[in-house]
Amino acid sequence: MLVIVMQSHRARGTLALHPSVPFPPHGSLLSLPWLTYVTLVAPKTISGTNWHHSGAKYSNWDDLRICELEARVKGLSMCCGSPPYKPNPRDFGVNSFYTFETWATQLNEFCVDVVKDKAFFICNSIGGVVGLQAAVMEPEICRGIVILNISLRMLHIKKQPWYGRPLIRSLQSLLRNTALGKYFYRSVATPESVKSILCQCYHDTSQVTDDLVETILLPGLEPGAVDVFLEFVCYSGGPLPEELLPQVKCPVLVAWGDKDPWEPIELGRAYEKFDSVEDFIVLPNVGHCPQDEAPHLVNPLVESFVARHVTSQASLSAEVM
């Protein structure tokens, strides 16, 4: 069993991020080895995976202990790594390549081909949608999900007024297919812009260090990064959390930093009503990246969630036998 921590950029501090191992060919473009992962805790008994959005870091997970046992904890990245591991979306024609279905397929394949076990998914922001999508697509792989300030996807096309949708599509086409997109990217891919953006979403701005800024910025300066960035920011389709949660078969714990300016907790509380959500935890005075700002609050939640469901699922298996 694995606990997977899902990230979207390079690891920080003493943890090195390694190129992903090639996935066995499954006859699908989705099996390209463009994800990266890092082992956070030496293999032992409990396992898991965590997937984050841009702006988070791995280092606060390296002391994670579950059931008083060391966990196998692996961190996965979205939209990063060396150039060979970032397929150019333009090579795939008009169809989007960087989608939640793509990421979810790769997450599940990672569990099958690399982990070779079931897993708990610990997800932040947009990574929460990936975790839910993966659990819907392959329910036998995911044992439970913790989602931290999941993206509400307020820019999704379905959440826009009908009269604004043509304008959104035109703007997306302009960004993707003209020099305007690259100009926009160059304006935000600077240390000053990255720091300013992070200071918006981190309630505790002392966490926004020069190291963190560099960690996030450097992958974005590599060849091919601009195409991936524009592909993703122009992706306003795909699933919504409220569409995936009714389909999820495993237990879900939702935790939310109440000072998140991007994903308001007032809207996030709507997810409490879904049958798959066993609890909604408010994290006081915490912004969009709780695992960074308040690991002392988040890690115990993860530990207790995994321990609880390891025990309950083991008991159920014993009863069946």
User: Domain locations in the chain?
Assistant: 2-162+238-320
- What are phi and psi for residue 170, nearest 5 degrees? -65, -40
Q: Say which CATH superfamily domain 2-162+238-320 falls into.
A: Alpha/Beta hydrolase fold, catalytic domain (3.40.50.1820)
Task: Write the DSSP assignment of 234-273 as a string of letters.
Answer: T---S--HHHHGGG--S-EEEEEETT-SSS-HHHHGGGGG
pLDDT tier at 278, thresholds 50, 70, 90: very high
Count of CB atoms situated within 10 Å of the CB of 274: 17
pLDDT in tens, 189-203: 899 999 999 999 999
pTM of structure: 0.79
Q: Does pLDDT of 54 surpass 90?
A: no
Beta-bridged to residue 38, according to DSSP, are: 75
Q: Does pLDDT of 94 surpass 50?
A: yes
Among 104-118, 169-183, 219-233, 252-266, top mean pLDDT goes to 252-266
The mean pLDDT value for 287-291 works out to 91
- What are phi and psi for residue 86, nearest 5 degrees? -125, 85
